[in-house]
């Protein structure tokens, strides 16, 4: 399998971290891909021109990141990252959606920051910043436990992206439970080996 990926993408990190946690990363070739320049191989796999995309041996292109994580969960022998159907599964799925939403907003802020700033852009940035802040507040109210499911991995990747791109907007002091949780899991090989660069 080949993973079209980008070392700074929190979505690509989530997929790689899931692959490492599932013990299947050895079967995946990482292909650095600049989504913004829309190379032909990326567009052939994903017309939305976004990474990550997992290309299977039979040519099937799998996106977006929750779908790839679902697929990875069917491979290998390590414990599943998807709890069995029921409240725990729902909690993991909703946490992944929340973390992905934080990533979406933070990535949008990062992209827009490079553009000329007018009143409209400042308003758009404030809106996305609000998304991140409300997302963090929701995670703080019920932080993940451990790193045993896709929701927790997604949350760690969202926080890691904030540290990577928004270090000038520290979040730990206002979210002590979340900070303590991240400190307790950040040495996990799935996070260490997928850290953004």
Residues that bind ligand GSH (CB under 6 A): 6, 9, 11, 35-36, 49-52, 63-65, 100, 107
If the CB atoms of residues 65 and 194 are measured against ligand GSH, the closer one turns out to be: 65
What's the closest the beta carbon of residue 11 comes to ligand GSH, in angstroms?
A: 4
Nearest to ligand GSH of 124, 179 (CB atom): 124
- CB of residue 114 to ligand GSH, shortest distance in Å: 13
Which residues have C-beta within 8 Å of that of residue 49, sequence separation ≥ 6? 35, 38, 42, 43
Q: Which is nearer to ligand GSH, 3 or 6 (CB)?
A: 6
Pick 45 or 144: Cβ nearer ligand GSH:
45
- The minimum distance between CB 92 and ligand GSH, in angstroms, equals 15
Q: In this complex, which beta carbon is closest to ligand GSH, that of residue 49 or of residue 184?
A: 49
How many angstroms separate the Cα of 10 from the Cα of each of 86, 120, 140, 157, 161? 27, 26, 20, 6, 6
Query: 131 is written with which tokens?
Result: 């998304």
Q: Name the burial class of residue 144, with classes exposed (0-12), middle (13-18) and buried (19+) by CB atoms within 10 angstroms of its CB.
A: buried
**CA distance linking residue 112 with residue 103, whole number of Å:** 14
Minimum CB distance to ligand GSH, residue 116 (Å): 19
Q: Provide, rounded to whole angstroms, the least separation between the CB of residue 68 and ligand GSH.
A: 7
């Amino acid at each position: 399998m080949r993973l079209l990926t980008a070392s700074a993408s929190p979505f690509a990190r989530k997929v790689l971290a899931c692959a490492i946690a599932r013990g299947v990363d050895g079967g995946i070739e990482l292909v650095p891909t600049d989504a913004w320049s829309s190379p032909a191989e990326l567009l052939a796999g994903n017309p939305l021109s976004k990474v990550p995309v997992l290309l299977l041996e039979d040519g099937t292109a799998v996106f977006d990141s929750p779908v790839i994580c679902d697929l990875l969960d069917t491979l290998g022998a390590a414990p599943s990252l998807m709890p069995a159907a029921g409240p725990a599964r729902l909690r993991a799925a909703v946490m992944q959606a929340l973390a992905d939403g934080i990533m979406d907003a933070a990535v949008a802020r990062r992209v827009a920051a490079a553009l000329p700033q007018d009143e409209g852009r400042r308003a758009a940035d404030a809106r996305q910043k609000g998304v991140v802040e409300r997302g963090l507040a929701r995670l703080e109210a019920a932080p993940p436990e451990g790193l045993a499911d896709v929701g927790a991995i997604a949350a760690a990747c969202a926080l890691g992206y904030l540290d990577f791109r928004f270090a000038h907007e520290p979040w730990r002091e206002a979210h002590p439970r979340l900070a303590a949780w991240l400190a307790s899991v950040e040495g996990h090989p799935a996070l260490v080996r997928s850290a953004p660069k």
